[in-house]
């Protein structure tokens, strides 16, 4: 194999709870993560020169060791003593610094791609171990699907049955949020509303998207929404336009909403884009690793 193309998919957090803080400063998490259809296109090509070449359609994106995807390729070359190099091209579609794990997804895709391209035949568990050395949410991006993440995000348990199929609208306001700053500002022991993760798992098992909508909860909203009140306005607008529920993903600022009907989701996306004059609005759907969506995939 000399060339491979992959889809580095975005994630949302159906629940996100902080249950404690470790001595090293990291927070203890308990959250349900879900892959969606929106993706970055990643093309990888084996080259004879012992180097890593990275390009992107986003001109300001770092293309050296500051980029997680570059570092993933370097880690695989060094760990497995690969003599040949690799050329990586990333077509960015997932907004940057959005709470959608775009950079982590690119990193995970390169780990998977290097494994296939160089015929290493590493199991998923080994790729997740390597991913963890670069970031706590990268192992999830390697695995994908409907997953309960605990610890600092590295303890992963597949949820069966997974999230039922539904449509998802993503709205990313034109602001960037520092994940580190959000966690530093969080007073986790003072948060009053916490997710009911078990109830969310039960609602998913029942295929009840409407019930899932009422259970969406992210404790990081207590920090990010006061910084960027427009997030709350976007959530309210999506609910008014027929969403089963709306929530900020990760540390933000992206808001996602769940819909049971495709046309309702598309209409909501169009209206919110116009109402708030926001460019980064996407109508997509739930995605399951190995099973796709079960329907024709499309993201607008």
Binding annotation for ATP: 95-105
**Spatial CA neighbour of 99 closest among 175, 156, 184, 158:** 175
Cα–Cα distance measured from residue 137 to residue 155, given in angstroms and rounded to the nearest whole number: 10
Q: Specify the DSSP class assigned to residue 100.
A: S
In the sheet where 245-248 sits, what is the strand order? 245-248, 255-259, 167-171, 281-285
Phi–psi pair at 127, nearest 5 degrees: -65, -35
Q: Which residues are catalytic?
A: 11, 137
User: DSSP 3-state assignment of 156?
Assistant: strand
Cα–Cα distance measured from residue 278 to residue 212, given in angstroms and rounded to the nearest whole number: 26
Annotated binding-site residue numbers: 95-105
User: What is the DSSP pairing of strand 255-259 with strand 281-285?
Assistant: unpaired
**Spatial CA neighbour of 156 closest among 131, 191, 184, 188:** 131
As given in the structure block, the two tokens for residue 135 are: 């970031």
């Amino acid at each position: 194999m000399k060339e491979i193309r992959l889809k580095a998919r975005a994630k949302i957090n159906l629940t996100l709870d902080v249950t404690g803080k470790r001595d090293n400063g990291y927070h203890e998490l308990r959250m349900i993560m879900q892959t969606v259809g929106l993706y970055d296109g990643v093309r990888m090509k084996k080259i004879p020169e012992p180097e890593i070449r990275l390009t992107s359609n986003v001109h300001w994106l770092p293309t050296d060791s500051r980029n997680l995807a570059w570092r993933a390729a370097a880690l695989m070359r060094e760990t497995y003593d690969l003599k040949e190099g690799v050329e990586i091209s990333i077509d960015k579609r997932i907004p940057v610094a959005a709470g959608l794990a775009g950079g982590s997804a690119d990193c995970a895709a390169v780990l998977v791609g290097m494994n296939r391209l160089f015929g290493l035949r590493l199991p998923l568990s080994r790729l997740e171990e390597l991913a963890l050395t670069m970031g706590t949410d990268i192992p999830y991006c390697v695995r994908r699907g409907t997953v309960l993440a605990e610890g600092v995000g590295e303890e992963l348990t597949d949820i069966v049955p997974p999230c039922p199929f539904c449509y998802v609208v993503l709205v990313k306001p034109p602001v960037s949020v520092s994940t580190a700053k959000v966690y530093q500002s969080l007073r986790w022991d003072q948060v009053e509303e916490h997710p009911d993760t078990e109830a969310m798992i039960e609602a998913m098992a029942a295929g009840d998207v409407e019930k899932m909508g009422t259970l969406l909860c992210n404790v990081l909203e207590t920090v990010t929404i006061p910084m960027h009140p427009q997030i709350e306005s976007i959530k309210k607008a999506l609910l008014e336009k027929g969403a089963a529920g709306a929530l900020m993903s990760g540390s933000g600022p992206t808001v996602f909403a769940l819909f049971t009907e495709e046309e309702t989701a598309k209409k909501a996306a169009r209206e919110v884009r116009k109402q708030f004059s926001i460019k980064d609005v996407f109508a997509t759907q739930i995605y399951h690793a190995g099973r796709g969506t079960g329907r024709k995939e499309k993201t607008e």
